[in-house]
Chains A and B, each alone.
Chain A
Amino acid sequence: MIRILPRIELPISMKKPSLLALLFVACIAPASAQLLINGAGATFPAPIYTKWFDEYTKIDPTVRFNYQAIGSGGGQKQILAETVDFGASDGPMSDANLAKASRPIWHIPTVAGAVVVSYNLPGDPALKLDGATLAAIYLGKVTKWNDPAIAGQNPGVALPDQDILVVHRSDGSGTTFIFTDYLSKVSPEWKEGVGKGVSVSWPTGLGGKGNAGVAGQVKQSPGAIGYVEMAYAHQNRLPFADLKNTAGNYVKASISSVTAALATATIPDDFRFSMTNAPGEESYPISGATWILVYSEQKDHDKGQKLVQFLTWAYTDGERMAAALDYAPLPPAVEQRALDRVNSIKY
């Protein structure tokens, strides 16, 4: 998932340092040395992580953070290579990749987001869709907007006799992973023929780069349908469909309906879970968490200690900042489990 990163403030450079000033700096430097914690990975949570780092360094000025939003794949590679202190990923690591680690890597979920289905129809009518129909559209089986499968769920909506133009992400993305994971759960045909992943072999449609690419394509093409990250759709006021959940209710994607899905999702002990198609009356079905990846035993005592202190703060005060940035915070029960896991990191 791609978001625009907030600008990072550069330190003001010193003007004409005199020899005396340099000596002075050299003397006091060891005393005020800041510990630098490096992280790398997913782009989707980068805005909230950056916010957390900003706020946390105000509380504890002895620590600094450097987070590189290079994508989940990069985050997994870097934590395996131990070139960073923590990784971040929108999808859980595979067993094959985890087996490459020298010692256990833990997944800890931080926040969640949703994927919404946007469309371009005359008059922007409110639309309702169920998983089977969505899968049929993306399989190229339902090709007209006035197909009975769509019209049957939308009585009273004037649907045109128009071809559906399917738009998907062209870049590898956690958004695609969540979307295809959902389609795999609701459509056996999708599971068999396409499957789930950050990039898949799409049976039909056009690829747009990033949320902006998909949204741009949908906005520009009458009759188009595409999936984008919820925060992006909110901020750009795109129309999006209500999705039918397992309880049979059509639910609008929102922070509360995502947190509701998190609360009802089955979360195993290793936190490698999928929350798409979660049970519950109010759960929005196409949503997913994002994780940080840390070694259960930290090599560097000081860094490990600072990292645990930071994460403890993140799961208490930090989570309260999520909603303002369009992320769904963890429900209390999951938050407590995450906190317990953080506190069992050894350093």
Chain B
Amino acid sequence: MPSAQASVPVLPPLGSRAPDSTFKWAAFAAALVILALIALVGLELYYGARLAIAKYGIGFLVSSAWDPVSDQYGALPFIFGTLVSSLLALLIAVPLGVATALFLTELAPFRIRQPIIVIVEMLAAVPSVVFGLWGIFVLIPWLRDHLFVWLKHTLGFLPLFQGPIYGVSMLAGGIIVAIMILPIVTSISREILRSVPGLQREAAYALGATRWEVIRIAVLSYARRGLFGAAVLGLGRALGETMAVTMVIGNRPEISASLFAPGYTLASVIANEFTEATSDLYLNALFELGLVLFAVTILINVAAQLMLRSMGSGGVAKVH
């Protein structure tokens, strides 16, 4: 106490709020810069796409034509491919990522946690093109000769698993993206699960819950908002993934019910065709694909925010 009293005179006199307000404005400016950047990207894409927008209007979004020779452009197969491959990736990566995170936070012996974390995070450091090459030379032959044959044999009554098997396919694209978003989904899930208070677990154990029940009631239910957020961040990565996807997805602008059929994504077609596009309308159509990807990403994030809001504030109330 005496020392605290002694320090009072050293404090700056009341009323000097300059550092406070400076910091406030600096932080505000930083936030504004991000908003301005997003707006600028949108505007720039719109400006680059204006010829195609004027020519096709809303029809661009529902047309399946993509023929640079006769200058006919439509985005539908690319939107379809982007959404389907990203959703496939989420379906694979989220259960795997959350399970890995649960294992690491709840079950794994302390000694092996760190090595597994390092290995998972190393996946994030592998360049996209390396995943693509691995996809072409290792994953695709294996999928074609084993997994796909098995899927066709056992689940072939579903339209999803019919048609000729080439190896390169929508499903291969989804699997590659799943591997690539696994590190981010796992790391974020792990942080979320670690932040679940120990009190939650202890309370559940005190009620006589088994380990599985503790994980289900006290941990997962408490963390579900955060885990949903991890999935959304993973989805964001998946939507924009370009290089590895284009190497394994078959690059065919087609809408097919079968996951064995080749597909194409918005990001891949831009990367593939931008460098050699010479006609104005062609370039504008590629810019419009960029604008569509931009809009899809924003829409999905907004939808995720709305879903998050409707989910309420997690399982705290239930455990009381």
Please report A residues at the B interface, Cβ cutoff 8 Å. 70-74, 76-77, 93-94, 96-97, 163, 165, 170-174, 194-202, 205-209, 213, 216-217, 220-221
Contact = CB atoms under 8 A, between A and B. Distances in A.
A170 B264 CA distance: 10
B166 interface: yes
28 contacts: A71-B276, A72-B275, A72-B276, A73-B274, A73-B275, A73-B277, A93-B278, A94-B279, A165-B166, A170-B251, A198-B68, A198-B276, A198-B278, A199-B272, A199-B277, A200-B68, A200-B69, A201-B72, A206-B166, A207-B250, A207-B252, A207-B264, A209-B251, A213-B247, A217-B136, A217-B168, A220-B137, A220-B167
A73 B274 CA distance: 8
B262 interface: yes
Contacts of A163: 164
Given A199-B68, A213-B247, A170 B272 contact: yes
Interface string B13-57: 000000000000000000000000000000000000000000000
Interface in B246-305: 246-247, 250-252, 262, 264, 268, 271-279, 283
A96 B112 CA distance: 65
Nearest to B269: A170
B156 interface: no
Given A216-B136, A220-B140, A220-B141, A199 B273 contact: yes
A30 to B, nearest CB: 38
Given A72-B278, A199-B68, A209-B247, 16 more contacts: A71-B276, A72-B275, A73-B283, A94-B279, A170-B246, A171-B273, A172-B274, A198-B278, A200-B67, A202-B252, A205-B252, A206-B166, A206-B250, A206-B252, A216-B136, A220-B136
B251 A207 contact: yes
Given A217-B168, A220-B136, A195 B69 contact: yes
B275 A171 contact: yes
B128 to A, nearest CB: 12
B80 interface: no
B70 interface: yes
Contacts of A200: 67-69
A93 B276 CA distance: 12
B275 A172 contact: yes
A216 B140 CA distance: 11
